[in-house]
Structure 1
Amino acid sequence: MSEATRQEAAKALAAVEEVTAVVLPEPGNEVVALDAAPAPVAEEIRRRMAELDLSDTGSIVNFGSAAQAELQQISQAMLQDVRNKDVGPAGDSLRNIVTTIRGFSVSELDVRRKLSWWERLLGRTAPFAKFLARFEDVQGQIDRITDDLLGHEHKLLKDIKSLDLLYDKTLNFYDELALYIAAGEEKLKELDGKTIPAKEAEVKAAPEPDQVMKAQELRDLRAARDDLERRVHDLKLTRQVTMQSLPSIRLVQENDKSLVTKINSTLVNTVPLWETQLAQAVTIQRSAEAAGAVREANDLTNELLTANAKNLRQANEVVRTEMERGVFDIEAVKTANADLIATIEDSLRIADEGKRKRAAAEEDLKKMEADLRDTLASAKARSTGSGDSLGGSVRG
C-alpha cells in the first residue's frame, strides 16, 4: 500500500474519532398542555394556534406541515445523488413500482437471474472478469481495492455527518409536532368549551329568518372542528413514527461507524498483510515452477538414458545376430533339401500312378472293345434268324 493511502487512512481514522465523539440528545416524552407549559413553550403553542383559521379548510389540512419543511430539505439533499441500487430492498421496491408504471420488467437487467438459452449461447455466462483478472497487475489490483475501500469510507463518513444533522432536524420536528399537537388540542378544547357553545346559543337567539344561516355556520364550525381533530390525530401518529425513526437513525450511524472502523483497520493492517502474503505466494509459486522445471529436466534425462540403453541393446542384438549368420542358414538349406527330395518323390509317385492308371485304362479299353464286338455279333445273328421273326412280331 502506498504512503498516500496510509495518510488517507490516518485522516479517516481521525474523522471516525471525531464523529464518534458526537453525543446525540434524547427526545422528549409527553406533549405538554398549554396550561402546564412554561412561559416560552406556552408562547410557542399560542403562536401555532394562531396559524389555524377555521374558516379556511387549507389551514387545517396544512396545520403542522411547515415543521417538516427543513427536515424534508435535508432528506432530499441526502437522496440527491443516490440510485435505487444504493438503498437495498427499499430501492428494489421503488424500482418495481416505477417499472410497473412504465410497463417493462427489470428482470432482464438482473445479473442474478437465470439466463436464457440464447444468452448462454452467446457466452454471457463466461466469467470474463475473472479471465481478465488473471492478467492484471497484482499491485494494481490491491491499489484498486484500497481505493474502493477509501471511497466507501469517505461516503460512510459523509453519511454519518449527514445522519447527525438529520437526527437533529428529526428531533426538532419531533418537538415541533408536540407543539402543534398541544396547540391543536388546546384549540379543540377552546372550540368544545367556548366557541361551539357560543355559536349554538347564537343560533337559538337569532331571529327565525337568520336561523338557517346561523345553523349552517354552526355545522361548518363543527365540521372544521372534526377536521382539526383528525388532523391532530394524524400529527400524533406522525410524532410516534418520528420517534421510532430516531433510534433507527442512531442504529444506522452505529453500523456506519463500525464499518468505517473496520475499513480503516483493513487499510492499515489487512492490506499490508495481503501484500506480504502475496509476496510470499509469488516466491513460493516461482520456487515451485523452478522445481517443476528441474524435475522435468531430470525426468527427461532419465527417459533419454533409459530409452538409449534400451535402443542400444535392441540394435546390438539385431546387428550381432546378422553378423553371426552365414550366407545361407543351415535350416534354410535343410528345408530346401527336404523340399527337393519330397518333390522328386512326388514326381516318381505321380509317374508310377500314371503308369498304373494307363495300364488299367488299357485293360478297360480292351474289355470295352470285346464287349462291343460281342454285341455287334449278337445283333447280326438276330437280324438273319429268329431275330427277324421276333422283330416282325414286335412290329406287327
Structure 2
Amino acid sequence: MSENVRAKAQETLALVDEVNAMVLSDPKAADAVTPLSQADANLGEEIRSRMDEIDMTDTQSIISFGSGAQTELQEISQAMLADVRNKDVGPAGDSLRSIVSTIRGFSVSELDVRRDRSWWEKLLGRAAPFAKFTAQYEKVQLQIDRVTEDLQKHEYTLLKDIKSLDLLYEKTLDFYDELALYIAAGTEKIKGLDEADIPAKEAEIAAAAEQDQVMKAQELRDLRAARDDLERRVHDLKLTRQVTMQSLPSIRLVQENDKSLVTKINSTLVNTVPLWETQLAQAVTIQRSAEAASAVREANDLTNELLTSNAKNLRDSNKVIRQEMERGVFDIEAVKQANADLIGTINESLQIADEGKAKRAKAEEELQKMEKDLRDTLASAKSRRDGVGDTSGTSVPKA
C-alpha cells in the first residue's frame, strides 16, 4: 500500500468514527397523535394552522390536505435515487472478496527453492520457483494497490450515503411528526363538523321556508360528502404515517449495514492490508535469506570438496614421485631381461652362423659334385668325336 493510500485511510478513520457516533431520534408510536384538546399552546397553534388549510367547499383542498409536508421528503429521496443511478463503482463487497481471493491465490509453498523444475517446466522455459514467486509477489502487490484504491472509493461513497440517510431519516421523522399534526387537525375538523356544522345545517333546513329547503338539503349533502372525503383523507394520512414509521427502521438498517461495511473497509485498509503486505514481504525476505544460506552452504561444501580432493591428489602424486625417486636408473628386472635377451640374441646368432656354415659346406659338396659331373660329361663327349662316325659322335650320349 502506498503512503498516500495509507494517509487517506487514516484521515477517513475520523469520518468513520463520526458517522458511528451519530444518534438518531426514535419515532413516537403510530397511535400517539395528540388531540387539540390535550395539546399545549404551541402544539395547538400548529394544529389550528393546519385546520385552516381545509376548505370544506373546495374538494381539491381536502384531497391535497397534508400533501405539502411530503414535498421536501420527495425531493431528498429523488436526489438520493439520482445519486445511486449515477454511481459508477461496483459493490464494496466485491472488492473485499477480490482482495481475499488475490491473497489466497498467493501460494507460499512455491517459495521452496530446493524444488527442482520439472521436465515440463524446463520444456516450457518456466522460471525457477523463487523467480516465479517473486514475479507473482509483484503482481499481487499491484493487485492489492488497485483494490485498496477501489475500496477507498467505496468507502467515500458509503460515507456519503450514510450522511444522506441521516438527512433522509431526519426528514422522514419530521414528515412522520407532521402527519400527526395533520391527522390531529383533520380529526378535530371532523369532530367540529359532526358536533357543530352538520347539526347547524340540519337546523337551518328545518327552519327554512319550504321553497328554500331543497337548496339547504343539497348544501347539507355536500357538507356531509366533504366530511366523508375528509375522513377518508385522514384515514389515508394515518396509513401513510404507519408506513412512514415502518420505513424509519429500514433506513436505520441500511445505515447500520453501510456503517458496518465502512468500518470493515477502513479496518482492512488501516490494519489488514498492511499486515498482509508485511507478511508477504517477510516471506520473500525469509526465502531470500534461505537462498543466500543455501548458496553459502554450497560454497562451503565446494571448499571442503576441493580440500579433500586436493589432499587425495597430493597423496597420490607424492606416492608416485617418491616411488620414482627411490627407483634406480635401471630397474634390475629390466637389466636381467635385457641380459637374457642379449644372451638369447648371441646364442641365436651363433646357431644361425653354424647353420649357415653347414649349409655352405653342403653347398660346396654339391658344387664339387656338379663340377665333376660336368667334367665327366665333357670328357665323354670328346672321345666320341675321335671315333668312327663324327656325325653320331656329335650327338650327346644318353646317360
Sort the TM-score into its range (normalised by shorter chain): 0.5 to 0.7
Match of 1:257? Answer: 259
2:47 is aligned with 1:25: no
Q: Could you tell me which of 65, 68, 88 is aligned with 2:67?
A: 65
Q: Could you tell me which of 167, 170, 173 is aligned with 2:172?
A: 170
Q: CA deviation at 1:193?
A: 0.3
Match of 1:228? Answer: 230
Q: CA deviation at 1:229?
A: 0.5
Specify the SS of the correspondent of 2:27: coil
Q: Could you tell me which of 143, 147, 155 is aligned with 1:153?
A: 155
Q: CA deviation at 1:25?
A: 1.6
Correspondence list, 1:208-247, <5 A: 208-247=210-249
Correspondence list, 1:181-330, <5 A: 181-279=183-281
Structure 2: give runs of 5+ residues left out of the alignment.
91-135, 295-399
Report the CA distance shift for 1:204/1:275 in structure 2 as closer, same or farther (over 3 A).
Answer: same
2:6 is aligned with 1:6: yes
Separation (CA, whole Å) in 2 of partners of 1:135 and 1:223: 79
Q: CA deviation at 1:282?
A: 6.0
Correspondence list, 1:68-79, <5 A: 68-79=70-81
Separation (CA, whole Å) in 1 of partners of 2:45 and 2:35: 12
Q: Give the AA of the match of 2:146.
A: R
Q: Give the AA of the match of 1:157.
A: L
Correspondence list, 1:38-187, <5 A: 38-83=40-85, 137-187=139-189
Specify the SS of the correspondent of 1:246: helix
Separation (CA, whole Å) in 2 of partners of 1:56 and 1:84: 42
Taking only aligned residues, the RMSD between alpha carbons, in angstroms, comes to 2.9
Larger Rg: 2
Match of 2:37? Answer: 35
Separation (CA, whole Å) in 1 of partners of 2:62 and 2:288: 79
Structure 1: give runs of 5+ residues left out of the alignment.
89-133, 292-396
Separation (CA, whole Å) in 2 of partners of 1:82 and 1:223: 44
Q: Give the AA of the match of 1:65.
A: S
Q: Give the AA of the match of 1:20.
A: N
Q: CA deviation at 1:83?
A: 2.9
Specify the SS of the correspondent of 1:79: helix
Q: Give the AA of the match of 1:50.
A: D
Report the CA distance shift for 1:135/1:61 in structure 2 as closer, same or farther (over 3 A).
Answer: farther
- Post-superposition CA distance 1:32-68 (Å, at most 9, x none): 0001100000000000000001111111111111111
Q: Give the AA of the match of 2:82.
A: Q
Q: Give the AA of the match of 2:188.
A: E
- Post-superposition CA distance 1:72-125 (Å, at most 9, x none): 111111111223999x9xxxxxxxxxxxxxxxxxxxxxxxxxxxxxxxxxxxxx
Report the CA distance shift for 1:10/1:55 in structure 2 as closer, same or farther (over 3 A).
Answer: same
Q: CA deviation at 1:189?
A: 0.2
Specify the SS of the correspondent of 2:147: helix
Specify the SS of the correspondent of 2:83: coil
- Post-superposition CA distance 1:347-388 (Å, at most 9, x none): xxxxxxxxxxxxxxxxxxxxxxxxxxxxxxxxxxxxxxxxxx
Q: CA deviation at 1:234?
A: 0.7
Q: What is the TM-score with the length of structure 2 in the denominator? A: 0.57
Match of 1:385? Answer: none
- Post-superposition CA distance 1:276-335 (Å, at most 9, x none): 3444666799999999xxxxxxxxxxxxxxxxxxxxxxxxxxxxxxxxxxxxxxxxxxxx
Separation (CA, whole Å) in 1 of partners of 2:83 and 2:177: 29
Q: CA deviation at 1:71?
A: 1.1
Match of 2:380? Answer: none
Report the CA distance shift for 1:42/1:144 in structure 2 as closer, same or farther (over 3 A).
Answer: same
Separation (CA, whole Å) in 1 of partners of 2:272 and 2:174: 42
Report the CA distance shift for 1:136/1:209 in structure 2 as closer, same or farther (over 3 A).
Answer: farther
Q: Give the AA of the match of 1:18.
A: E
Specify the SS of the correspondent of 1:60: helix
Separation (CA, whole Å) in 2 of partners of 1:136 and 1:69: 55
Separation (CA, whole Å) in 2 of partners of 1:81 and 1:160: 13
* % identical equivalent positions: 76
Separation (CA, whole Å) in 1 of partners of 2:137 and 2:264: 30
